[in-house]
Amino acid sequence: MTPAVSAAEDRRPVRLAGATRAELACALANLGLADRERRMRVSQLWHWIYHRGARDFSAMRNIARPLLDRLAERHDLERPEIVAEQISADGTRKWLLRLPPVHARDKGAEIECVYIPESDRGTLCVSSQVGCTLNCSFCHTGTMALVRNLTTAEILGQVLVARDRLGDFPGGVAPTDGLVPSGEGVRAVSNIVFMGMGEPLYNFEAVRDAIAVMTDGDGLSLSRRRITVSTSGVVPEMSRLGAECRTMLAVSLHATNNPLRDRLVPLNRKYPIEQLLQACRDYPGASNARRITFEYVMLKGVNDTPAEAKALVRLLRGLPAKINLIPFNPWPGSNYECSDWETIERFSEIVFNAGYASPVRTPRGRDILAACGQLKSESEKLRARARMMLEESLVFGQD
């Protein structure tokens, strides 16, 4: 049963940081603004929120004071609360964020979001759900008890936090460590990957709407080609993603035959490899210039033989594909080990010789815990794990 909304909760300001244009219009309509003025004010608010990164209504100089006061009475521009910020020696950053409660008894869920700087780009890895229902056997996120979809605003909140912290809004101050790309016309957050917690295609509408805000030219203005959505293979939603979002696609393949993939990615029992690859062939917009990334986690003694590397290239023949080999990131209680480095190299060589770029996600940020599949947002566990796995964790660099 959903707990009743308390009177106090009812009075909580409605957050506009992360709102869509339609939500902004609705907020203004509730303040009694007529259609024509509303449209103009939506554009102004949009510019302030997403282009300028305003955190306070009073900064919005081109909007009349009485309207700003009324907005501030009912709304705020807060971001998700930063519970912890960890910064690796190589500039990789991880934020543990607390979301505002959605009902009276909710204490507020926590999610993680990771930033990976490289010389020519900065990639933000965002979560689409708290936890994940899909239980891939090698993934820590799949073991979280609490699972819910994030709202569009909660997805966008991660981008706003990152841009705030990286000085990526006009007038912002970039970190002085020299590791975050910065300078005239350079953006600290230039790429987004939906590779944090959750299965983005199980939260399609919120992800789609967040992508629309991210790519809006008057606001965050990110290129669709620099946004990648990773799926474990939710076949029926893949064509929608291509048609409605036109982003890059990454597919978590991890095995070349159904019995093994059934074990690693249980969703395979519903949508087996043949159906998944057909959906990739049909993916709108895929071409040699816009290749689909196939992710393949390297699990010692499970999927890492030369024969499997050959099977992988056979399987992907004819598809505009890139192959991304991910060293397995262990977590306490996991039943797998990462393949030896020589095994990964041998695998990678076979893939490379078959004509595929086969970057191995480079180990990065060993001093913080921010790797694929390790994300599990319970601060206590996080601290314990950070102590235990200081030397084991791997963070990757993403195309």
Q: Is 327 in the site for ligand SF4 (CB under 6 A)?
A: no
Is 245 annotated as catalytic?
no
Q: Which amino acid is at 273?
A: I
Name the residues that contact ligand SAH, by CB under 6 A: 136, 138-139, 195, 199, 230-232, 252, 295, 297, 326, 328-329, 372-374
Give the rounded distance of the alpha carbon of 51 from its chain centre.
Answer: 20
Is 280 annotated as catalytic?
no
Q: Cβ closer to ligand SAH: 92 or 230?
A: 230
Tell me how far apart the alpha carbons of residues 376 and 148 are, in angstroms, rounded to a whole number: 13
110, 112, 154, 308: the active-site residue: 112
Which three-class secondary structure state does DSSP give residue 6? Answer: coil
113, 125, 136, 372: the active-site residue: 372
Tokens at 12, concatenated:
């909580």
DSSP letter, residue 59: G
Q: How far is the CB of 192 from ligand SAH (least distance, A)?
A: 13
Q: Is 135 in the site for ligand SF4 (CB under 6 A)?
A: yes
151 binds, among ligand SF4, ligand SAH, none (CB under 5 to 8 A by kind): none
Q: Cβ closer to ligand SF4: 144 or 179?
A: 144
Dmax over CA atoms of the chain, in Å, equals: 70
Q: Is 141 in the site for ligand SF4 (CB under 6 A)?
A: yes
Q: Cβ closer to ligand SAH: 28 or 372?
A: 372
Q: Where are the beta strands (DSSP E) in the chain?
A: 14-15, 75-76, 81-87, 93-98, 110-118, 121-125, 129-130, 148-149, 191-194, 227-231, 248-252, 292-298, 321-327
Q: Which of 18, 122, 157, 373 binds ligand SF4 (CB under 6 A)?
A: 373
Other Cβ atoms less than 10 A from the Cβ of 139: the count is 25
Q: Cβ closer to ligand SAH: 87 or 326?
A: 326
Distances in whole angstroms, Cα of residue 249 to Cα of each of 136, 284, 353: 19, 10, 24
- Residues with active-site annotation: 112, 372
Q: Which positions lie near ligand SF4, rule CB under 6 A?
A: 132, 134-136, 139, 141-142, 198-199, 232, 252, 373
